[in-house]
Amino acid sequence: MKHLAVLLLLLLSMMAVAEPLEVATIRIMGQPAAALVETVRPLLGRDGSVSAYQDKLIVRGSAAQIDQVRSLISDIDRPPRRLLIEVRQAGSQSISTRGIGYAVDTGNVRLGRVPPGGTAQLGYGDIQTRGRDDSLHQVQVLDGRPALIRTGQSVPVYQVHQQVYGNDIVQGFEVQYRDTANGFVALPRVHGDQVTIEIYQQNESAASNGRFDAQQASSVLRGDLGQWMTLGSIGGQDFGNRDDLGLHVQTHRSQDRQIELRVIAVD
């Protein structure tokens, strides 16, 4: 009985010195409130708790613990910095078309068109086409917030169809439009004078013969603020041949594109 009385006195003394728990609502200004829950939780001990609701932290703890939380929040809850993200693309493409045509007229057999007085003709053509497709995208964003910038256009796509009416074949075409999109999604996080950025880049363009080229790249980069960083480069080539009676055409198409980005602190 004596030991029970001592234990009871100890429990009563602990209850007497224990601070009552309070509930406080703290508004977060510079970042998502949920991002601070795990940072605040260790300050509240075993009996306290913290949760996030919209832009507020709901804190349950003693008055001293809540004061510690308020002091911590005042130190780390800074307005996010404004950043300027620039993404530039340097693209080049070349198309080479070479053709050989021939015609023969033996008097009995005629293939192609032969100049008057001649019996044969041989022709050769070589066409080289080069071009550039450079672009620069800019968007302002807050540190730690995702940004989306997207541009595009509607490209006409022609489809040829044939229909038979009795003994006649009627050929026509219809036009449909397809949207092409170019742009990126970026999520920057600044650490002192350095930045870590998650980025997804997409580039679509119309090619020949109703085709569309699609190029995509995604990565996580880290570098200094204001420094150009290479996201990646994309390249490709294809060859084509076409043979008709009296004509052979060879086509070579190549393209290269390099993507770079940088993040500039606006304030």
pLDDT in tens, 149-207: 776 666 666 666 666 666 666 656 566 666 666 777 889 999 889 999 988 877 776 66
Of how many residues is the chain composed? 267
Question: What is the torsional sign of CA 19, 24, 27, 28?
Answer: positive
pLDDT at 137 over 90: no
- How many Cα atoms occupy the beta-carbon half-sphere of 267 within 13 Å? 8
Mean pLDDT of the chain: 78
Query: Which of 117 and 26 is assigned the larger pLDDT?
Result: 26
Q: Where are the domains of the chain?
A: 2-76, 82-95+131-244+253-265
Topology of the domain covering 2-76: Ribosomal Protein S8; Chain: A, domain 1 (3.30.1370)
pLDDT in tens, 31-89: 888 889 999 999 998 889 999 999 999 999 999 999 999 999 988 888 888 999 988 88
pLDDT at 18 over 60: no
Q: Please tell me the predicted confidence (pLDDT) of residue 227.
A: 93
DSSP alpha helices (H): ranges in 34-163? Answer: 37-40, 63-76
pLDDT at 4 over 60: no
Query: d(Cα 130, Cα 127) in Å, to the nearest integer?
Result: 10
Percent of the chain surpassing pLDDT 70: 67
For residue 11, name the pLDDT band (cuts at 50, 70, 90): low
pLDDT in tens, 198-253: 888 777 766 666 666 666 777 889 999 999 998 777 677 777 777 766 667 788 77
Query: d(Cα 72, Cα 70) in Å, to the nearest integer?
Result: 5
Q: Please tell me the predicted confidence (pLDDT) of residue 16.
A: 45
Tell me which amino acid residue 157 is.
V
